[in-house]
Amino acid sequence: MRYVIIGTGAAGIAAVEAIRSVERGAEIIMLGDDPHGFYSRPGLAYFLTGELSDKTLFPKTREDYKRLGFIYRKARVTRILRDETSLQLDDNSLLTYDRLLIATGAAASPLTVPGANLQGVVKLDHLNDARHILKLAKRGRTAIVVGGGITALELAEGLRARGMHVHYLLRGDRYWSSVLDEHESRIIEARLQEEGITLHFHSELREIIGKSGQVNSVRLKNGQTLKCSLLAYAIGIQPRVELARDAGLATERGILVNEFMQTNDPGIYAAGDVAQVYDPISGHSILDSLWGVAREQGDAAGLNMAGQAQPYIKSMPFNITRLAGLTTTIIGAVGHGRDDDLIGIARGDSETWRELPNAIVAQSGFDINRVRILVGENKLIGAVVMGDQTLSMPLQRIIANQMDISPMREALLTRDAKIADVVVDFWSNLKSEK
Ligand SMILES: Cc1cc2nc3c(=O)[nH]c(=O)nc-3n(C[C@H](O)[C@H](O)[C@H](O)COP(=O)(O)OP(=O)(O)OC[C@H]3O[C@@H](n4cnc5c(N)ncnc54)[C@H](O)[C@@H]3O)c2cc1C
């Protein structure tokens, strides 16, 4: 049996590990077009700031790969020939497969404004992008950053850490409004300003203006012009579905797979940022773009490819990240994505708690230690923990396991409740009961 995996990212590697855990003798071939193979893409942000060297981005050693015993080929797959169960590679050679995994990830959405192809317009997708940015980042020069999520913020901080003057353009009236509430956005914005980053709200690019092929300034939709020598953007990602779509596999935004990570062709699977996975609980097909999810999906895909019927069960959304130097855990449903009403009502609300139609927002904290909990009927729905992470682990468990919170619900919802103390008490009592 020959297993072929396209993509050397988190999903691809997890699939190799899973296949090898059940199929000791099978042939596994991994194909990838990134010259650096498998490395930590989340780590690229810390490489940009200079906190991590590029060596530390590689989580696996030569021995690890040897132990897994697979064949790695640096190649770009140009076509999937389903009738012949084979792949065409960029050197025009063909490679047959018995089971195929497409783990091609997602790429940064392109900028489409005039001037986007000038030298000095950069994105942060791969290690080569990060190296390119570092070459162009010149102390004392000016950079413009565009985009509203984590990657844009990482670009702004990375360029600032390299001594550039950074102007950060935000389309709306605050940072990351789809996930953070207003208070949380303001905390991050204040910290960015303290770092010396200039924020521009309600600002959108109209065009990038060059001089001798090199970015020289930008014009905004409000008519303002800003000089710069670098423009970095992170305005979203696009799953790399082209191979699957051209081969006639079912796709929407991602490659559609069932809960066994199988496409509409039973010999072909997909996992990671490129996969849109059917969730039997909600009845929807869901796209994720998180490292941990890619690993879990790759693991499930590998086991299924090797004949172990292993449905992928979507775990609760969870991301631990650093925003403007502040460790932040985002657990469960906290923003627009899951519940528009919730964010609509919490936004701009200065009270410590407020009843909502089907959930209650309870908040506490000041400055950099802040907890926001979304309280449902008898369980917690989501939480944001900023700064002190003491509550992060208990909240993850309480939310993931959908624990009955009735013993603390009333205390949580008391006006001016000390949420941290209430959760810690609840958690300690639970542990002592065990
Ligand atoms: C700057 C940055 C910061 C991030 N920070 C976080 C974070 O803090 N937390 C978090 O959870 N996630 C983060 N992510 C997202 C996380 O890195 C991704 O969710 C994860 O890497 C997805 O893994 P994957 O295996 O699906 O795809 P990828 O890692 O994208 O791997 C896909 C591979 O397929 C290869 N490929 C594509 N097409 C072909 C082809 N035709 N032929 C051959 N090879 C091909 C690509 O070159 C690539 O190597 C971040 C991502 C970036 C870019």
Say yes or no to pLDDT of 356 above 60: no
Cα 42 to middle of ligand 1, angstroms? 9
Residue nearest to atom 44 of ligand 1 (CA): 32
For 333, the token pair is: 């449903």
Nearest CA to ligand 1 atom 37: 104
pLDDT surpasses 90 at 389: no
Q: Whose CA is nearest to atom 21 of ligand 1?
A: 291
CA of 15 to the centre of ligand 1 (A): 14
- At position 26, the amino acid (one-letter code) is A
Rounded to the nearest 10°, the torsion over CA 241, 296, 289, 301 is: 10
Residue 361 pLDDT: 59
Question: Residues 6 or more apart from 77 whose CB is under 8 A from it?
Answer: 6, 31, 33, 87, 88, 89, 90, 243
Helix (H) or strand (E) holding 79: strand 77-81
Alpha carbon of 272 to ligand 1 centroid (Å) = 8
pLDDT, one tens digit per residue, over 239-284 is 999 999 999 999 999 999 999 999 999 999 999 999 999 988 778 8
Question: Residue 359's pLDDT is what?
Answer: 55
Supply φ then ψ for residue 31, to 5 degrees: -115, 135
5-14, 46-55, 67-76, 277-286: which range is least confident on average?
Answer: 277-286
How many Å lie between the centroid of ligand 1 and the Cα of residue 24?
A: 27
Q: In a 10 Å sphere around its CB, with 0-12 CB exposed, 13-18 middle and 19+ buried, how is residue 353 labelled?
A: buried
Q: Atom 39 (ligand 1): residue with closest C-alpha?
A: 104
Domains of the chain as residue ranges with CATH:
2-106+237-305 (3.50.50.60), 121-233 (3.50.50.60), 318-433 (3.30.390.30)
Q: Which atom of ligand 1 is nearest to the CA of 106?
A: 30
In terms of Cα–Cα distance, which of 372, 368, 364, 370 is closest to 335? 372
Which ligand 1 atom is at minimum distance from the Cα of 13?
A: 25
Whole-angstrom distance, CA of residue 346 vs CA of residue 342: 6
Ligand 1 pocket at CB < 6 A: 6-12, 31-34, 41-42, 44-45, 76-77, 103-105, 124-125, 151, 154, 240, 243, 272-273, 289-292, 294, 319, 321
Pick 399 or 145 by higher pLDDT.
Answer: 145
Burial class (CB in 10 A: 0-12, 13-18, 19+), 71: exposed
Q: Whole-model pTM?
A: 0.90
* Local structure of residue 116 (DSSP, 8 states): T
Span of 88-92, 214-218, 373-377 with lowest mean pLDDT: 373-377
Residue 365: alpha-carbon gap to chain centroid: 26
Confidence of residue 368 (pLDDT cuts 50, 70, 90): low
Dihedral, CA atoms, 335, 336, 341, 345, nearest 10 degrees? 50
Q: Is 324 helix (H, G, I), strand (E, B) or coil?
A: coil
pLDDT band at 318 (very low <50, low <70, confident <90, very high): confident
Distance, in Å, from the CA atom of 285 to the CA atom of 278, rounded to the nearest integer, reads 4
Look up residue 128 and give its DSSP letter. Answer: H
Residues 90-108: tens digit of each pLDDT? 999 999 999 999 999 999 9
| Phi, psi at 116, each rounded to 5° | -65, -15
